[in-house]
Structure 1
Amino acid sequence: MSGLELWPEYEPNELKITPERIYALGMHPTTDKPLIFAGDKLGNLGIIDGSQKATTNNPEDADDEDADYEGPSITTLKPHTRTIHTFQFSPHDANALYSASYDSTVRKLDLAKGVAVEVYAPKDTSEDAPLSGVEISKNDPNTLYFSTLDGRFGIYDMRAPSERAAGLQIFQLSEKKIGGFTLHPLHPHLVATASLDRTLKLWDLRKISGKGDSRLPALVGQHESRLSVSHAAWNAAGQVATASYDDTIKIHDFSSSSTWSPGHTLSDPEMKPTAVIPHNNQTGRWVTILRAQWQQFPSDGVQRFCIGNMNRFVDIYTAKGQQLAQLGGEGITAVPAVAKFHPSMDWVAAGTASGKLCLWM
């Protein structure tokens, strides 16, 4: 991990991938080349091919400082009208990108055609229900999971007829904002949510009880931090990483989750983190909140995650809390707050509040 180096073709300040502050970032699962996608504050989606070479118009002028230099080729689309908070490449279709936005909608972008269609919006078109997360389970290409800034979690069947939000289940999981959620990669009925109410909670979607608006999935367990928890990320080994405003990254080990029966509950000691890493998470108003993001399919089987560092680095840790690397380099002038691994390759991309990109390979 320490051997990764910044993309040599362009400096980070030349890689303005979105017009505004980056909130969401990801790399396409293809292993042929790094394809980086970034969503910004105003609903723009920037796309860059990390294999392109810096060029001048005249090859003979490559060493001439006055030569007509061409910057990197960046594609910008605008699928949303407000902040793109999260997006996910479909596990079932390499050409589909699902994005969730503060404009209350989830859109599906066809990467081959460059066309985005709305796949979910609230039934009442005037309702303002900003979304904070979106995921499609690897078991079911038709079901969309999402979370909202007012503490709700939704399950939506995209095959439902056009009366918007038929086939929709909504659960009020928290009184406050859900900053992020993930499904367990191997057991997608297990959901981890992180909330402004300072808790990490695990839910089991196989068992839903209650009536009407009070219906809830079974609560497996919860762990409370001193301050708000910004994101909860599952990895395939059954570990959950959270970053909290109490300046820690916590790793919880639920590797026995494959044996849990519906309605299984965990005691407080079982919910305690197995590793607590001190980490400055005080982003303030102008830097996007730091989130720990796992590499989905590490080639060597070592579970690891990356997270932005307020001193203009990206930190990489193992599931045991050991630091593997601190990625930096020349020309990084802002905090690379939104950091993400490629699902299987050892490539790390990170975005800043000015829409600039850092890419380590």
Structure 2
Amino acid sequence: MALPEPQSATLEPEPELPELPEQPSPLSQQRLQESTPPGAAALPRSPGRAGRRAEPELRVLLTPLRAGRRLPQKRLLSGGGTGGKRLRLERPPERPTGTGPGSPADSGSDGAGDGDGDSDGSDAGDAARDGCSQLSAYERKRLKNITENAKFFAALKLHESAARLYQIASRKQPHVTKRAKPKKAEDEPVRRRSMRLQRVEPSGIPVPEPEAEELPRVPAGPVPMVPEDQESSKLTQELLATWMRISEMKADGTEKLTYDMKRYQDSLSSMVLSEENIRKVVKYRVCSMAIHPSQSVVLVAAGDKSGQVGLWNVDGESAGTCVFVPHSSMVSCMHFSPWHPAHLLSLSYDTLRCGDVTRAIFDEICRSEDDNFSSFDFLDDNGSTVVMGHWPGDVAVVDIRTPGTSPELSADIGFKRTRTVHVHPVNKQYFMAAGSVDVCIYDVRYLKSKGNKPVSSLKGHTKSVASAYFSPVTGNRVVTVCADDKLRVYDTSSLSSTLAALSTISHNCNTGRWLTRFRAVWDPKQERCFAVGSMARPRQVQLFRDTGALLHTFCNPDCLGSVCSINVLHPTRNILVGGNSSGRLHVFKE
């Protein structure tokens, strides 16, 4: 079957395009058509379906590159429209023989044989005037279109409009909705406040705000035993004379008594608190206490957080007190010397002093420039050597008889913090250190500067330990107070590498920042029992057995209304003294 002869290809007119900001002029269209090289026949369009117009084709003409010119540009030949465009690369007509770069035909004078001669005279004249005579017709047309478009957009003044809009937007303030304040109800009840909170005296006169008091710094060296604001007080002289008199008695000759439990319980019931046995001894919070071992007179010493040391003769006719200031910071530990009760040793952050009533002076035994001291205890019965704990975790051994203020030995025991140290009552070579979560027993004979290993470790503490003390007669028990709200008792009759708790007592130890931390102290008259402060109401001091049983509660709702954090018991008499955060001492006695 013979195929039909192909019809001659004709170039359909360009379809109408959507309206653009600037339509090319008829002259531009004519130049574009004339730029088509002669002999470039239009390809036939693909026949479409019935009722559908044939899709246009795109043709691209490649112009050969002359010497010194840019790469050839692709020439887009299209019948118009956007759908179904076809691209075809056309080679430009071959040059006649003998033509090439540098030949007269390539000089551009007549344009014969290259694609640059397809433009009319007007377009060539414009290109010559613009200095673009070496460009092809397509390139000249492209530059002209770019120039016309730039003029069109310049006529629209878009940059000026954008600048005006930006100024308007920047001047516009955001709309903020202000919330109306609620009106105070007129019938709202007024909260009542006491006159103490309003700082008003009962007479109605306002009390001025208290100013921060700057405490004077106590100088280094010996400090005279002169009471504060009582330099010529007759009462002070009488109290110091009483202290000297009772210290001359040989109290150490009396053996330590241990009552049976039935008799001991009866004696506890006879100890009561009365109004005359309450006295403010120091100005601020009580941080340490000591009781004189005399059996005839009850002499109590208390140290507060400001460095004051107060003395109170509880049995005196006038029941007077006197206050000294031998320290510049908190008095954390106090002891009457076991061999010389006329010596009262007190420890603050920076110094250890010995108050000698026979010479009326506070001697300086040891000093630290870093405020490191936390506690101390006697290493021998004659009170000549002490072991000291440091807040950073070290311990030191100090000989009171040695001149100077430096320790004889400083040892790193591996603690992060050492709060209390205590010496075994029988085996004086052993001492116990407590701090952080560590409670360990060490042998002072083997102490060295570093690498010290404990003889025994008391396990079970999960938070910081406030205190740890041996039982006073045999040292077979140890009681600790921990911040995890637990009191723990350990059996130390035989020292092993690790010791587990013999009994554990739940006890609220959350004293906060305004109260001194609790310290559990053994009763010298019954070493199986210890006393500790309590946060319970009514305010009380509790006494436990080593088994964990609560044996007795010291309280009086009419007289005791505060927490007694620090407590001390008399070695031979049925007396318990508790100190609170306002500097008051409460004496429970028969």
Which TM bucket (shorter chain)?
0.7 to 0.9
Q: Which residue of 1 aligns with 2:432?
A: 192
Q: Which residue of 2 aligns with 1:228?
A: 464
C-alpha separation between the residues in 2 aligned to 1:302 and 1:185?
12
Q: Which residue of 2 aligns with 1:119?
A: 365
Q: Which residue of 2 aligns with 1:204?
A: 443
C-alpha separation between the residues in 2 aligned to 1:342 and 1:141?
19
SS of equivalent to 1:303: strand
Q: Which residue of 2 aligns with 1:58?
A: none
Deviation, structure 1 residue 334: 1.6
Whether 1:328 and 2:555 are equivalent positions in the alignment is: yes
Deviation, structure 1 residue 33: 2.1
Is the Cα contact below 8 Å between 1:205 and 1:218 reproduced in 2? no
Deviation, structure 1 residue 140: 4.7
Deviation, structure 1 residue 218: 4.1
Q: Which residue of 1 aligns with 2:375?
A: 133
Q: Which residue of 2 aligns with 1:16?
A: 280
Deviation, structure 1 residue 110: 1.0
The structure where strand makes up a greater share of residues is 1
C-alpha separation between the residues in 2 aligned to 1:136 and 1:175?
21
Whether 1:168 and 2:393 are equivalent positions in the alignment is: no
C-alpha separation between the residues in 1 aligned to 2:295 and 2:528?
19
Is the Cα contact below 8 Å between 2:458 and 2:501 reproduced in 1? no
Superposed, which structure 2 residues align to 1:85-100 within 5 Å? 85-100=332-347
C-alpha separation between the residues in 2 aligned to 1:139 and 1:113?
22
C-alpha separation between the residues in 1 aligned to 2:282 and 2:429?
35
C-alpha separation between the residues in 1 aligned to 2:373 and 2:346?
10
CA distance 1:208–1:173, change in 2 (3 Å): closer
SS of equivalent to 1:51: coil
Q: Which residue of 2 aligns with 1:253?
A: 491
**Per-residue deviation, residues 249-289 of structure 1 (Å, max 9, x unmatched):** 111011235xxxxxxxx243xx1111111111100000000
CA distance 1:154–1:315, change in 2 (3 Å): same
Q: Which residue of 2 aligns with 1:315?
A: 542
C-alpha separation between the residues in 1 aligned to 2:355 and 2:468?
25
**Per-residue deviation, residues 134-159 of structure 1 (Å, max 9, x unmatched):** 11233453212111111111101223
SS of equivalent to 2:515: coil
Deviation, structure 1 residue 112: 3.7
Q: Which residue of 1 aligns with 2:352?
A: 106
SS of equivalent to 2:494: helix
Whether 1:142 and 2:384 are equivalent positions in the alignment is: yes
SS of equivalent to 1:200: strand
Q: Which amino acid aligns with 1:207?
A: Y
1:216 aligns with one of 447, 452, 458: 452
* Unpaired stretches in structure 2, ≥5 consecutive residues: 1-267
SS of equivalent to 2:459: strand
Task: Point out the structure with max Rg over C-alpha.
Answer: 2
1:343 aligns with one of 547, 553, 571: 571
Q: Which amino acid aligns with 2:444?
A: L
Whether 1:305 and 2:534 are equivalent positions in the alignment is: no
The structure where helix makes up a greater share of residues is 2
C-alpha separation between the residues in 1 aligned to 2:451 and 2:497?
23
Deviation, structure 1 residue 114: 3.5
Deviates more, 1:81-90 or 1:171-180: 171-180
Same amino acid, percent of matched pairs: 24
* Unpaired stretches in structure 1, ≥5 consecutive residues: 55-71, 258-265
C-alpha separation between the residues in 2 aligned to 1:273 and 1:346?
29
**Per-residue deviation, residues 204-227 of structure 1 (Å, max 9, x unmatched):** 223335xxx415264322424111
C-alpha separation between the residues in 2 aligned to 1:91 and 1:142?
10
**Per-residue deviation, residues 94-142 of structure 1 (Å, max 9, x unmatched):** 101111101x1100001344321101113xxxx2133111112334532
